[in-house]
Amino acid sequence: MSTTNLPLSGARLWDSLMELAQIGGTPKGGCNRQTLTDLDSEGRHLLRRWGEAIGCTLTVDRLGNMVLRREGRDPSRKPVAMGSHLDTQPTGGKFDGPLGVLAGLEVLRALHEAAIETEAPLVLINWTNEEGARFSPPMMGSGGAMGIFPEADVLALRDSDGKAFGDELTRIGWRGDADPAGLADLAAYFELHIEQGALLENAGKDIGVVTHALAQAWYEVTIEGAESHGGSPMAGRRDAMMAAAPLMAAIEEIALNAISPAGEPGRATVGRLTVYPDSRNIAPSRIWFSIDTRHGDPAMLARMGSEIRAKAAELSAARGVAITISDFWQSPLTPFDNALVGRVRDAASRLGLPHMDMPTGIGHDAVYVARRLPAAMIFCPCHGGISHNEAESITPAWAEAGLRVLADAVLATAGIAKEK
């Protein structure tokens, strides 16, 4: 269903993004609106006011997920959903998350302004704690709603100050009564998001048609050797750091050489590192670090894990240290719904927007939703691929392109009934 006559306003979307960005705005032009803080509550209240001003009804579930609903002609039909998140990293940007929420709001505003009724109801979702900056792991609101995380476990999680998720949700006034599992009963879900990479910008494309999410495997590595004085002879040392360094270098090489039949390499990151005893003049006896591996081919991802373990065994023998690699977390290759992906692709073509098919290597609420429901993602470019950074930026034109593709795909799924 074309949105040619729908009065979508890229300018209104941009103004809304800028207004929201003032809540938790940072001196460097970014946002610090972490989940379940007073600033998160303030942003939620703004979204509530905007939604209720156009006749939407709000429900909030026990995990704090906000759901703004616009009724359709046929209330027996399952709703078609749009959404993303309003929470940010401590030094986050203006667009990671809010773009998807406020673009969905603009679709609802335009329908209200034109008095257009859809066949199916529409809902707009602000998922709780997508970022995982304060409470880890990320994507708790969508993961809880889709049955991936037990609700009680989410509510019991604590931040670095020992404050419980459920207590903080209650404190800021956003712990609702609705059952989160109700969000697993949607007809479809669409999420617009910035790419958080530079592929679209480098290719000169306005739209990324996201076909799947990469498989992921995370590990924790512990290397145990023996402490040695910095002035002692090098021979015979069991230096955990000198085993860790070549293993980390090998992890990057293993990822780059894990080429799938389609020509896609792997991705690997060592993101956290602890050293014991952490003294300038002592060769460490213990090193701990994390590994995050990702690939679009599950077989290649498994091969990466095997090669990392083989390299660890080689270094263990050569250096006289014990190396333990433990599985920490896995996420399967997650395809998005073919029919919905096709509607996104068709919308970009119909609107004359340069586009390309691509995966997401980053977790999003849509990835968890896609495990239970038909879901699709739309990417728009961001300058230099910079994200989770106060310098994160996009153009109004990119935001509007994503908005128009979102609206087109959503209305093609929900159907337009008639003018009220």
pLDDT at 321: 98
Question: Which residues lie closer than 8 Å to 369 by C-beta, 6 or more apart?
Answer: 142, 146, 186, 189, 191, 375
Scanning the structure block, which residue is given the tokens 């039909």? 77
How many other CB atoms sit within 10 Å of the CB of residue 159?
A: 16
Q: What is the pLDDT of residue 420?
A: 45
Instruction: Give residue 262's pLDDT.
Output: 83
Classify 290 as helix, strand or coil: strand
Residue 287: left if φ>0, alpha if ψ -120 to 50, beta else—which one? Answer: beta
Q: Is the pTM of this model over 0.85?
A: yes
Mean residue pLDDT of the chain comes to 96
Q: Which positions of the chain have pLDDT values less than 50?
A: 1, 420
The pLDDT value recorded for residue 417 is 86
> For residue range 356-406, what is the model confidence (pLDDT) as tens digits?
999 999 989 999 999 999 999 999 999 999 999 999 999 999 999 999 999
Distance CA(37)–CA(159), nearest Å, equals 12
- Taking only the tens place, the pLDDT of each residue in 136-191 is 889 999 999 999 999 999 999 999 999 999 999 999 999 999 999 999 999 999 99
Helix, strand, coil % over all residues of the chain, rounded to 5: 35, 25, 40
Amino acid at 384: G
Q: What would the DSSP string read from start to end of 148-182?
A: SS-HHHHHH-B-TT--BHHHHHHHTT---SB-GGG
Res 419: pLDDT: 52
Q: Residue 351: what are its φ and ψ, rounded to 5°?
A: -85, 0
Rounded Cα distance between 353 and 207, Å, is: 7
Residue 1 pLDDT: 47
